[in-house]
Structure 1
Amino acid sequence: MHKQKITTSTNQYDVIVGKGILKDLKEYLPKQYRNILVITDSVVNELYTEKVVANLPNEAKVAVSVVPTGEASKSIEQYYQLLTEAIQHQLDRKSLIIALGGGMIGDLAGFVAATYMRGIDFIQVPTTILAHDSSVGGKVAINHPEGKNLIGNFYPPQAVLYDIDTLHSLPEKEKRSGYAEVVKHGFISDHAYLKDILDVDLTKEIEPIVMSDHLQKGIAVKAKIVEQDEKEANIRKFLNFGHTLGHAIESELGYGEITHGEAVAIGMLFAIRVSEQKIGSNLPYEALYNWLSNNHYPLDLPSISTIHLVERMKKDKKSENATVQMVLLQDIGEPVTENIPDQDLTNLLENFMRELGSK
């Protein structure tokens, strides 16, 4: 078991990573709760809800709310339904919400917790690789048809309890999605860490000790940044490397058509190309492209309007005065932010999409 403490201006909480945490779940709860609502999705519900409920305190009244699996559930409709169910289950300000699932559930359940009765406790119980990133840092949100995570808050959990035994049930698509965020943490932090990640073959079983090491290091990268900038006033923006185009692709294709990590992977390739052309960086584009290709990331996108993508990117939360701001790299471990004028962005994106299509 590995424990990291996250200390921000608004909260302090533990991130615990290890094997068998679900069976000892009540030992890790930060305080006693009389009323608990577990929010999960239809796939995770079949796998882990029974085990989680069985290992909560006997004296607690426990209810379960299940939403359809997939990014489309991060909607105003599902959010409102969960608030209704919280009221029906008589949750009060001393109750607890448990977010059991991947990044979608963490964002959705966390936003419910942040806004129900002006905020009640919640804990993250991630079941995907992707959630090593999304469960830490306190960003909670739902999507709008015009853009991803546009409706949300900064609301840290009371704990993150990460049982890596849950990761063995992941399909290859979810492994790809999660490892894109691991790669991102490598790019913005450390040459050796990135090299170690790019040696992994996602088409084969990953040794638990290797995966645990990658996840712990990724969490540490994020924790260090979040502790300095909880509400994304400056350096927290670096965690969005690859996300400006990635979010635009997700929104334009329709949520669920491509996973978050698969979209971010393409976004990182684009950010590298922009870094090379705008600030003269020398980055391992081919190494990343080959790793993504060898691990079956979808790099051959359907025809997407460049104009539409640019408009989506301008609605990104990092944009300022309707000008797209991208996270670029001077070198591995040296991220910067740069405003990209519309015409430059359009030209860069058109060239990039042609390059992708020609490979």
Structure 2
Amino acid sequence: MTVSLTTVPVDLGPRSYEVRIAPGLLAEAGTAIAPLLRRPRVAIVTDETVAALHLPALEEALDHAGIAHKTLALPPGEATKGWASLQRVVEWLLAAQVERGGLVLAFGGGVIGDLAGFAAAILRRGVRFVQLPTTLLAQVDSSVGGKTGINSPAGKNLIGAFHQPSLVLADTAVLGTLAPRDFRAGYGEVVKYGLLGDAAFFTWLEGAGPGLASDPAALVRAVARGVEMKAGVVARDETEEGERALLNLGHTFGHALEAATGYDGARLLHGEGVAIGCALAFDLSARLGLCPQEAPSRVAAHLAAMGLPSRLADVPGLPDDAALIALMGQDKKVKDGKLRFVLARDIGDAFVADDVPMEAVAATLAAAR
């Protein structure tokens, strides 16, 4: 079955760009990128896992379009998203003589997209980059919207910049090489979009989600719907002054869990943290009387059907609740000294709250152990 190309525009005036979603886009990458180039050369930043699986196909596409290329492959994993790797990438780009008019290709998952995008943002005070996301999480979420950055021991994504890509090419066929756990973790960001703003999409996912990995058309539909929702929010609130904070549903809890595990992907992947965070956000909302009691049960049931965690008990070796709350206090979503949570009135109806009683947060954490 032929799956047609879906193109989602991100409308940001002079910084507007397209997100193209379809299987097989990697083979057309050279043709797609060529119009962006002042000189026919690019610098590719990737990780060793992606390089082994997909770099030859990208190189062939670039060669076919007459585009010269150099590649830096970094170790895979969240631990790469730090100061040492940022310095390595920037110094490599300088050694590769990437100019102000040059182009960086971020070829990988969320870690590479965030890291390479941040390096592009600060190199020579800003060079252009293209996102070639290779994970479900990156295709549906992190490659779109211009958030780039690295982690700190104090918390996730605390150092970074808003720097929009010039193009996003989401080849859904490459998702077939993901380990099942990595695909499921990416699904944590897919389901987030239904939970925060599209109840009909969540209902569709309840039926389609378990078979998504083996249904190319449904996979494109799922990625495209998430990208459409994110693109609309980003166009209205690029730098997260208001509405864009809704995209952080599950992230205040999830980022604290990631920091508590030391960004150890063997214990917790980002999308798994988001899944647990979404479940906790709905539990907290019900505890506060904001949403129907059946909503958290429905969320937890769907996460379980997808093989995703939904409780703190699903993550080994977590610190106590007080330590988790302290980690939440370092989150980027703290404003005027107050923790901000994305809560829900129901599935598909999320809102930002900054007056959440901490005793309710503590009770929610305690009940999830």
User: Under a length normalisation based on structure 2, what TM-score does the superposition of the two structures give?
Assistant: 0.92
The residue identity in structure 1 corresponding to 2:99 is D
Q: 1:21 and 2:31 equivalent?
A: no
Residue aligned with 1:304, SS = coil
1:67 maps to 74
- Is 2:356 the partner of 1:333? no
Shift of 1:339: 1.3
Q: Percent of aligned pairs with the same residue?
A: 33
* Contact 2:150/2:159, CA 8 A, preserved across alignment: yes
Aligned pairs for 1:309-348 (under 5 A) are 309-340=324-355, 344-345=357-358, 347-348=359-360
**Preserved contact between residue 306 and residue 349 of structure 1 (Cα < 8 Å):** no
Confirm whether residue 124 of structure 1 aligns to residue 136 of structure 2.
no
Which amino acid letter does the alignment assign opposite residue 222 of structure 2? H
Alignment partner, residue 36 of structure 1: 42
1:132-151 alignment to 2 at 5 Å? 132-151=140-159
CA distance in 2, matches of 1:85, 1:26: 22
Cα distance in structure 1, aligned partners of 2:260 and 2:6: 39
Secondary structure of 2:107's counterpart equals strand
The letter for the 2-side match of 1:123 is V
* Structure 1 portions without partners, runs of 5+: none
Q: CA deviation at 1:156?
A: 0.4
Residue of structure 2 aligned with 1:296, choices 307, 312, 326:
307
Q: Is the 8 A contact 1:172 1:202 kept in 2?
A: no
Question: Which residue identity is paired with 2:28?
Answer: D
Deviation at 1:125, TM superposition (A): 0.4
> Structure 2: how far apart are the matches of 1:135 and 1:8?
15
Q: Distance in 2 between matches of 1:95 and 1:243?
A: 34
Q: How far apart in 2 are the matches of 1:192 and 1:105? A: 32
Letter in 1 for 2:9: K
Contact 1:203 1:295 in 2 (8 A): no
Q: Which segment is superposed worse, 308-317 or 78-87?
A: 308-317
Alignment map for 1:1-359 (pairs within 5 Å): 1-9=5-13, 11-29=15-33, 30-32=35-37, 33-56=39-62, 59-131=66-138, 132-202=140-210, 205-255=213-263, 256=265, 257-282=267-292, 284-298=295-309, 299=311, 300-302=314-316, 303-340=318-355, 344-345=357-358, 347-357=359-369
Q: Is the 8 A contact 1:229 1:236 kept in 2?
A: yes
CA contact (8 A) 2:43 2:103 kept: yes
Structure 2 Cα separation of the partners of residues 75 and 250 of structure 1: 14
Which shows bigger deviation, 320-329 or 2-11? Answer: 2-11
How far does residue 198 in structure 1 lie from its aligned partner after superposition?
A: 2.1
Alpha-carbon contact 1:107-1:139 (below 8 Å) kept: yes
Q: 1:304 to 1:348 in 2, by over 3 A?
A: farther
- 1:70-116 per-residue CA deviation (whole Å, 9 max, x = no partner) reads 11100100000011111111111111100111111110010011010
Q: CA RMSD in A?
A: 1.7
- The SS at the match of 1:291 is helix
Please, which moves more after superposition, 12-21 or 278-287?
Answer: 278-287
* Structure 2 residue matching 1:199: 3-state secondary structure: helix
Deviation at 1:294, TM superposition (A): 3.0
Relative to structure 2, which stretch is displaced further, 257-266 or 280-289?
Answer: 280-289
Asked if structure 2 preserves the Cα contact closer than 8 Å seen for 1:315 and 1:322, the reply is no
1:279 deviates by 4.9
Aligned to 1:79, what secondary structure does the other structure show?
helix
Post-superposition Cα deviations, 1:153-178, rounded to whole Å, max 9, x if no partner, equal: 11000000011110111111111111
CA displacement at 1:287 relative to structure 2: 1.6
Give the deviation of 1:206 after TM superposition: 3.0
Determine the C-alpha separation between the residues in 1 that align with 2:205 and 2:273.
Answer: 18
